[in-house]
């Protein structure tokens, strides 16, 4: 798909990307937007209770707000009612005026009503200092998203946000690509919708990153359009030279991350849907993701326990078991023989150029 065709596709499918609430739960109410197809980044980092890190989170939000502006309409915080906001402006100290004994919770969304999912969101969960100090504590998480149309019309803007945020937060790992933003008010009722899309489009993210951060202390969850590794994980993966040998620069851009790396795989995010025009056909893994997965498989966590938490007694399926959840982690794994085939397929995919990459490639 050309860049122009991608923009037209994004424009034509804006309304279809908003999915009614509880779409696969017949007994639930459907009078709200339950899910929104978006491009989402997830970043995992340490020391959320430190004032320096909380200031960095605030700086990330201000950079994001400059882009999102009037799209941002609601502020949610744990234990409080959602608050309507204008122009993305938040109460002073939203990210910084916390005791280090309290968790940092702030979820900014773009739905017309507070219960509606939207394309745009900025969400952060930071642990209390005492909790993060425990020997087996997980990481903190920040997620942000934009509409697909925004990515189509601004081919390097999302990458700028992701790389800038990753550097500022000194992240351990992160990834970005297609995802489904779920209603904060009724998340569990819309989990089956996410499951169904993930079965149709293999490159879609699954699950709430803010919850999965607890399992990502020592490795990555997945690869995506953008994938971040700190220096320790990069070294475990063989180092920058090894990645350069595995990831040809015509299709992969590498950016420095405080000694680690952010990897851009392709011009734009991939969904990994069927290529035969049949929505019921098997999903097709994008070659650039399969090759990147092979290069980083050694630093992937072995398990995330459970990708999704649905409604008790739900009649619709979701990733409710560890076995199925961990199979999803391995969805891009292929044999060495098939990996050669994917490398051949990569040669027929669009090349990177200066329009869709950042100027400071490593």
Secondary structure string (H, E, C) spanning 102-134 = CCEEEEEECCCCCCCCCCCEEEEEECCHHHHCC
How far is it, in rounded angstroms, from Cα 131 to Cα 103?
Answer: 9
The mean pLDDT value for 160-166 works out to 99
Evaluate whether residue 362 is within a structural domain: no
| pLDDT number for residue 16 | 87
How far is it, in rounded angstroms, from Cα 252 to Cα 265?
Answer: 5
Q: What is the pLDDT of residues 247-266, one digit of tens each?
A: 999 999 999 999 999 999 99
The predicted model scores a pTM of: 0.96
List the single range of 143-152, 309-318, 331-340 with lowest mean pLDDT. Answer: 309-318
| pLDDT number for residue 359 | 97
| pLDDT number for residue 2 | 67
| pLDDT number for residue 279 | 64
Q: Which residue has the tokens 């951060």?
A: 213
| pLDDT number for residue 314 | 86
Residue 117, Cα to own-chain centre: how many angstroms? Answer: 15
Tokens representing residue 336 in the block: 């060495």
Evaluate whether residue 150 is within a structural domain: yes
Neighbours of 354 (CB within 10 A): 9
Evaluate whether residue 47 is within a structural domain: yes
Give the chain's domain count: 1
* Predicted confidence band of residue 278 (pLDDT cuts 50, 70, 90): low
Evaluate whether residue 355 is within a structural domain: no
Distance, first Cα to last Cα, the chain = 27
Q: Is the pLDDT of residue 27 over 90?
A: no
CA distances from 222 to 4, 256, 320, 329 (A): 29, 19, 18, 6
Evaluate whether residue 354 is within a structural domain: no
Mean pLDDT of the chain: 95
Evaluate whether residue 308 is within a structural domain: yes
Q: Cα angle at 176 between 130 and 117, to 5 degrees?
A: 80
Q: Tell me the residue range of the domain where 280 lies.
A: 3-346
Q: Is the pLDDT of residue 276 over 60?
A: no
* Predicted confidence band of residue 51 (pLDDT cuts 50, 70, 90): very high
Residue 196, Cα to own-chain centre: how many angstroms? Answer: 18
Q: Is the pLDDT of residue 1 over 80?
A: no
Evaluate whether residue 352 is within a structural domain: no
Evaluate whether residue 360 is within a structural domain: no
């Amino acid at each position: 798909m050309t860049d122009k065709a991608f923009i037209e596709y994004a424009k034509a499918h804006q309304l279809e990307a908003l999915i009614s609430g509880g779409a696969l739960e017949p007994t639930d109410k459907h009078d709200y937007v339950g899910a929104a197809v978006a491009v989402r980044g997830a970043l995992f980092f340490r020391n959320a209770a430190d004032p320096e890190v909380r200031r960095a989170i605030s700086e990330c939000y201000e950079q994001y707000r400059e882009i999102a502006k009037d799209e941002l309409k609601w502020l949610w915080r744990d234990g409080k009612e959602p608050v309507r906001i204008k122009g993305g402006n938040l109460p002073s100290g939203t990210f910084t005026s916390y005791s280090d004994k309290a968790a940092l919770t702030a979820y900014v969304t773009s739905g017309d009503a507070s219960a509606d999912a939207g394309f745009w969101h900025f969400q952060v969960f930071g642990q209390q200092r005492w909790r993060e100090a425990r020997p087996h504590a997980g990481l903190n998480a920040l997620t942000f998203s934009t509409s697909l149309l925004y990515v189509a019309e601004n081919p390097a803007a999302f990458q700028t946000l992701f790389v800038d945020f990753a550097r500022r937060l000194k992240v351990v790992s992160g990834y970005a690509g297609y995802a489904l933003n779920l209603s904060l008010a009724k998340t569990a009722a819309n989990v089956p919708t996410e499951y169904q899309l993930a079965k149709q489009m293999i490159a879609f993210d699954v699950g709430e990153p803010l919850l999965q951060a607890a399992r990502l202390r020592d490795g990555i969850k997945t690869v995506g359009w953008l994938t971040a590794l700190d220096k320790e994980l990069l070294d475990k993966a063989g180092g920058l030279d090894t990645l350069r040998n595995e990831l040809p620069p015509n299709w992969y851009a590498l950016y420095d991350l405080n000694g680690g790396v952010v990897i851009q795989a392709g011009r734009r995010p991939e969904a990994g849907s069927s290529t035969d025009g049949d929505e019921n056909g098997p999903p097709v893994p994008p070659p650039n993701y399969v090759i990147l997965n092979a290069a980083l498989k050694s630093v992937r966590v072995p398990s995330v326990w459970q990708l999704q938490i649905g409604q008790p007694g739900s009649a619709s399926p979701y990733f409710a078991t560890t076995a199925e959840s961990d199979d999803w982690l391995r969805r891009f794994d292929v044999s060495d023989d098939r990996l050669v085939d994917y490398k051949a397929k990569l040669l027929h995919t669009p090349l990177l150029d200066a329009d869709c990459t950042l100027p400071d490639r490593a």
